[in-house]
Structure 1
Amino acid sequence: MRLTCLSLAWCLAVSPALALDTSTAVSPPVDETGTLAEAPYRIAIPADWNGELVVLAHGFEPVGVPRATPWPADPATPIFTSARYAVAQSGYATQGWAVRDAIADSERLRAHFVQRHGYPKKTWMVGFSMGGGIAIASLEQQAAYYDGALSLCGANLPGDVLANDLFTSLVAFDALFPPREGAHRLSDPAAPMLDQGAVMDRVDADLPRDPAAAQRLAAKLEVSVESLPGTVGLHYLVIRDLMTRGGGMPVDNRLVRYTGFGDDDAFNRRVPRYVGDVAAMDYVAAAPALSARPQKPLVLQYNADDPTINPRFRPVYVQRAQGAAVAPLTLPDVPGGHCRFSEDQVRDAFRVLTEWVETGKRPNG
């Protein structure tokens, strides 16, 4: 199940002046699969293609999850193909927090599409969850190739901001629920790697030791107590993957003062402290690197009851983008949990984006 890079400019991309006529460049319908630089991909072009392309970015896929071959169509694909758009989607060369790979893989696939099927009349980037941040980074870094982007339930945070926030979950759990004899701290980079199920079992078993502490942790993370095992488990997976990718400790919390956990002085005395690795922190800062200066229309939408992309995450990008030449637009939250959008809700959000581009008028929030 799909749960929710520095730009790579490819010389294979052709300029609009040399673009193929999309009315004759393909023999639709097309259902193309393959691999580009170890990243599986799928391209779908409907028989009545309107000449426009949607590059679709999927979300977080835990390392080790079996992959289907060929790469399957994302469940959102029919939403766009039924509206006559072509859809190109990369599976990314790696699993986990594959943001940097995903940006490069998606750009490689877009360039491949152009070479095989002609230069689209318009190109859109749409991402879900982790893919939402990928969509924003792609729009920022490759603005020349995209007309606009839609981020749904997106992890729309610069990599270093996200890593520090996720790591807070781990050190807070360790401070509130010290490991039993023989166990390791979840935040300890030297501890043996656990799978997500083992982390969730650990959290689920420890929470009853101190119900009041569990409530404080849940309130701070903006989730229910029942959601804590899944939330901490996901944060653990992402942090561990960043440690692997960055080659070291991606967070330095020696000088961080944590607040909001009750007696802050007592809490901070119990928090485990770690020295960050400079190279790893540099890697994380670019996973993704978001300037918050989009040059093309960008629409964001979230789920009201999302325990993964919770309320404190949602305004960060837009706040940082104040003063941008093209200010992003956040649509009202949709009821439901993480990425629980209906097909009509996705269509409506995408329509806001396309009408913005077509009319040149930014919609009212």
Structure 2
Amino acid sequence: MRIRALIALAATVLALVVPLGAAGTAHADRTPGDQPLPGYTIENPPLPPAQVDGEPTRVSQGVHRHSAYIIEVPPDWNGKLVLYAHGYAGQGFVLRVGPPPFGLRQRLLDQGYAWAASSYYRNGYDVRAGVLSTRDVAELFADKVGRPEQRLIVGVSMGGHVIGRSIEQFPRYYDGALPMCGVLGDHELFDFFLDYNLVAQDLAGVREYPVTDQYATVTVPKIMENLGLTGLTPGGPDTTNERGKQFRAIAINRTGGPRPGDAQAFAVWKDFPFSLASPPVPDATLAENPDQLSTNLFTRYEPNEPFDVNASVQRVRPENLPARLSNRLSQIPRINGRPQIPVLSLHGLGDMFVPFSMEQIYASEVARHHRSRLLVQRAIRTIQHCEFSATEAGTAWDDLVRWVDAGRRPAGDVTTKPQVVADPEYGCGFSDRAAYDAGAGTRRLFPACP
């Protein structure tokens, strides 16, 4: 399974990013740093300066170490810098860069922060490119503007993977982190995509893995029909049969467990994970085919009744086991759960593209390393990927700043206790009530909070 189907989402969310391999390093040795790597072009149209108290900001744009960049400095700079790590940008060959989303650009500038962002030197799911290019633009900022007294890093989706690895790759280089809808569970995201397809095939009695060119057009419709998923819609009647109900329960458990809005979220996302499966491509890099890392050899699916899925499901070994086990900075690197700085994260409860389980995996790993004091997580009652309001993102940012500057650890949600997550009011604490009242996005698929 590859992730080319994610390209459509990238345009709306500025989603994930991918790492670089040995071939990319060789190209970098031959290509001037103010040009993109061979095969790539750059789109970096002029960004009009923002206004802060009636004065324009200073915007600098260009190409540095094969990546497009934007730097923006407010008129009264407070000496602090925010790095923005964007998400997955597809498998194309045009590099693009943009400002922080959810109204954060103006909020940062109004508070006196400068910000900088990189396109990364490669597209694809290349976290290594994101980690290195984000550090490069921070150092470029120091050369062009001045060395900041503080660096904070903000990112979405794959940018959350970039953040999770960056703060471990360069300990103490950053002072605080705000990953939103982030891939904090690293390889396990791709395990979930594999799980979804294999379990659906097993329960539907239609096996096709590795998939062929006819998977989307012939096999998936059979799977959907055999499980009663074809006519399932959010808020509509439950069309699933006995096997479909077990499949839905397994998918819910693999994405965070029983929680508010889980059935509605499944109905919204039921088709999408099938679209991520595509035929193998010979000699593909990890960035081009993350499924090389996927495995379900030791996964135990629950519930395992009325049908014994664990006994009958196809088991798949990781195609690239050395890459999965390696702790090196690769295109899809591990995040070990060893933050040394405050981390505040946001995640949609019903997101099944980058599932809420990513937060649970990260929280467990952080706890295993006795660093839970450095992690605060917040659940937002939304279903689409990276569906946050300006209020939710802005409040999280302000709380992170107070934590970093004044040591005031903010409140958050418990993510690793099933009975807490399953509470009907879970996620109400930090979800934007005004967005719910306005009927924004998928918010009304959840019951109203008290």
Q: Secondary structure at the match of 1:356?
A: helix
1:207 aligned residue: 224
1:73 aligned residue: 99
Q: Secondary structure at the match of 1:43?
A: strand
Distance 2:84 2:176 in 1: 13
Distance 2:90 2:111 in 1: 31
Distance 2:346 2:245 in 1: 28
Q: Is the Cα contact below 8 Å between 1:139 and 1:294 reproduced in 2?
A: yes
Matches for 1:82-97 after TM superposition, within 5 Å: 82-97=110-125
Is 1:39 the counterpart of 2:67? The answer is yes
**TM superposition shift of 1:139:** 1.7
Distance 1:102 1:67 in 2: 15
Is 1:105 the counterpart of 2:117? The answer is no
1:248–1:277: structure 2 CA closer, same or farther, 3 Å change rule? Answer: farther
**TM superposition shift of 1:124:** 0.3
2:361 aligned residue: 316
**TM superposition shift of 1:332:** 3.4
**TM superposition shift of 1:154:** 1.4
Q: Give 2:202's match in structure 1, choosing from 175, 184, 190.
A: 175
**Deviation per residue, 1:250-304 (Å, 9 max, x gap):** 2344555544353553554242534633334346985232221211111112123
1:247–1:165: structure 2 CA closer, same or farther, 3 Å change rule? Answer: closer
Structure 1 spans left out of the alignment, 5+ residues:
7-27
Structure 2 spans left out of the alignment, 5+ residues:
1-10, 21-55, 229-240, 253-264, 413-450
**TM superposition shift of 1:345:** 1.6
1:303 aligned residue: 348
Q: Is the Cα contact below 8 Å between 1:304 and 1:335 reproduced in 2?
A: yes
Distance 2:340 2:142 in 1: 22
Distance 2:247 2:305 in 1: 10
1:17 aligned residue: none
1:229–1:358: structure 2 CA closer, same or farther, 3 Å change rule? Answer: same
1:363–1:243: structure 2 CA closer, same or farther, 3 Å change rule? Answer: closer
1:150 aligned residue: 178
Q: Secondary structure at the match of 1:60?
A: coil
Q: Is the Cα contact below 8 Å between 1:200 and 1:232 reproduced in 2?
A: no
Q: Give 2:164's match in structure 1, choosing from 129, 136, 140.
A: 136
Distance 2:90 2:289 in 1: 17
**Deviation per residue, 1:186-241 (Å, 9 max, x gap):** x41xx5679xxx8499645641232133443333222413412123334x47x987
Is 1:165 the counterpart of 2:208? The answer is no
Q: Is the Cα contact below 8 Å between 2:118 and 2:134 reproduced in 1?
A: yes
**TM superposition shift of 1:342:** 1.4
Distance 2:373 2:187 in 1: 23
1:97–1:218: structure 2 CA closer, same or farther, 3 Å change rule? Answer: farther
**TM superposition shift of 1:63:** 1.4
Q: Percentage identity across aligned positions?
A: 23
Aligned AA (1:3)? A
Aligned AA (1:44)? E
Q: Is the Cα contact below 8 Å between 1:132 and 1:151 reproduced in 2?
A: yes
Is 1:57 the counterpart of 2:104? The answer is no
1:205–1:44: structure 2 CA closer, same or farther, 3 Å change rule? Answer: farther
1:113–1:204: structure 2 CA closer, same or farther, 3 Å change rule? Answer: farther
Distance 2:309 2:391 in 1: 49
**TM superposition shift of 1:141:** 1.9
Q: Give 1:262's match in structure 2, choosing from 305, 312, 321.
A: 305
TM-score, reference length from structure 2: 0.64
Q: Secondary structure at the match of 2:249?
A: helix
Q: Is the Cα contact below 8 Å between 2:85 and 2:134 reproduced in 1?
A: yes
2:378 aligned residue: 332
**Deviation per residue, 1:92-129 (Å, 9 max, x gap):** 22223121211111111111111111111211011111
1:80–1:247: structure 2 CA closer, same or farther, 3 Å change rule? Answer: closer
Q: Which is worse superposed, 205-214 or 48-57?
A: 205-214
1:25 aligned residue: none
Distance 2:213 2:119 in 1: 25
Moved over 6 A (4+): 239-242
2:143 aligned residue: 115
Over aligned residues, Cα RMSD in angstroms? 3.4
Aligned AA (2:342)? P
1:308–1:125: structure 2 CA closer, same or farther, 3 Å change rule? Answer: same
1:263–1:138: structure 2 CA closer, same or farther, 3 Å change rule? Answer: same
Q: Is the Cα contact below 8 Å between 2:194 and 2:295 reproduced in 1?
A: no
Is 1:218 the counterpart of 2:260? The answer is no
Aligned AA (1:231)? P
Distance 2:79 2:378 in 1: 30
Q: Is the Cα contact below 8 Å between 1:294 and 1:327 reproduced in 2?
A: no
Q: Secondary structure at the match of 1:56?
A: strand
Q: Is the Cα contact below 8 Å between 2:118 and 2:133 reproduced in 1?
A: yes
Is 1:348 the counterpart of 2:360? The answer is no
Q: Number of matched residues?
A: 330
2:405 aligned residue: 358
Q: Secondary structure at the match of 1:31?
A: strand
TM-score, reference length from structure 1: 0.77
Distance 1:171 1:331 in 2: 31
Aligned AA (1:103)? V
Distance 2:250 2:137 in 1: 40
Aligned AA (2:341)? K
